[in-house]
């Protein structure tokens, strides 16, 4: 199945639109050491959007080696496991106005429209905040 066929499956779209934790995979460009971290994300229908701070390892590695992976999965006991793996080259968005709008969308997805606490509001406006935008080049999906 190609990327568009995989992404068009209803269960894949449903999973990408759920506020579940994703796992972001980057790698150290000097020694290849993988680095995997849990992240909040949003799916805009074409790309995964991930808020990162430039002071973190994941942001530094994505800036130096923009090839990343993002795994979104379920796996609650007693429920079927479903997973979507997105791979490709990431774009780092640094424009403060864009970052604010996109970061707010990501945080509200998890906290709800009335749930942005003081910490989250400070993250939205933090000058170190960036958005990683991943338009996947490869998509893998599986469930059982």
Output the pLDDT for position 108: 86
Mean pLDDT of 71-94: 90
**Judging by DSSP bridges, how do beta strands 48-53 and 129-134 pair with one another?**
antiparallel
User: What's the CATH code of the domain at 139?
Assistant: 2.30.110.10
Mean residue pLDDT across the chain: 91
How many contiguous H segments (helices) and E segments (strands) does the chain have? Answer: 5, 8
Rounded to whole angstroms, the Cα distance separating 46 from 61 reads 23
How sure is the predictor about 32, in pLDDT bands with cuts at 50, 70 and 90?
A: very high
How sure is the predictor about 18, in pLDDT bands with cuts at 50, 70 and 90?
A: very high
Mean pLDDT of 25-52: 96
Which residue range forms the structural domain that includes residue 133?
3-143
Output the pLDDT for position 144: 65
Query: For 95, which DSSP code?
Result: -
3-state helix, strand, coil in the chain (%, to 5): 30, 35, 35
Q: Per-residue pLDDT for 124 more than 80? A: no
How distant, in Å, are the alpha carbons of 62, 105, 136 from that of 67?
7, 24, 10
Output the pLDDT for position 74: 85
Determine whether 34 is exposed, middle or buried from the number of CB atoms within 10 Å of its CB (0-12, 13-18, 19+). exposed
Q: How many structural domains compose the chain?
A: 1
Q: Per-residue pLDDT for 114 more than 80? A: no
In percent, the amount of the chain with pLDDT more than 90 equals 74
Rounded to whole angstroms, the Cα distance separating 54 from 45 reads 25
Helix (H, G, I), strand (E, B) or coil at 106: helix
């Amino acid at each position: 199945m190609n990327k568009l066929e995989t992404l068009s499956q209803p269960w894949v779209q449903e999973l990408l639109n759920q506020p579940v934790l994703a796992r972001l995979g980057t790698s150290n460009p000097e020694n290849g050491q993988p680095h995997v971290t849990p992240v909040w994300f949003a799916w805009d229908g074409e790309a995964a959007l991930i808020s990162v701070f430039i002071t973190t390892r994941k942001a530094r590695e994505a800036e130096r080696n923009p090839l990343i992976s993002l795994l979104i999965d379920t796996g609650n006991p007693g429920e079927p496991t479903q997973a979507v793996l997105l791979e490709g080259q990431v774009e780092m968005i640094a424009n403060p106005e864009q970052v604010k709008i996109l970061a707010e969308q990501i945080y509200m997805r998890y906290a709800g429209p009335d749930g942005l606490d003081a910490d989250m509001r400070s993250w939205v406006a933090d000058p170190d905040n960036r958005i990683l935008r991943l338009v996947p080049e490869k998509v893998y999906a599986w469930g059982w």
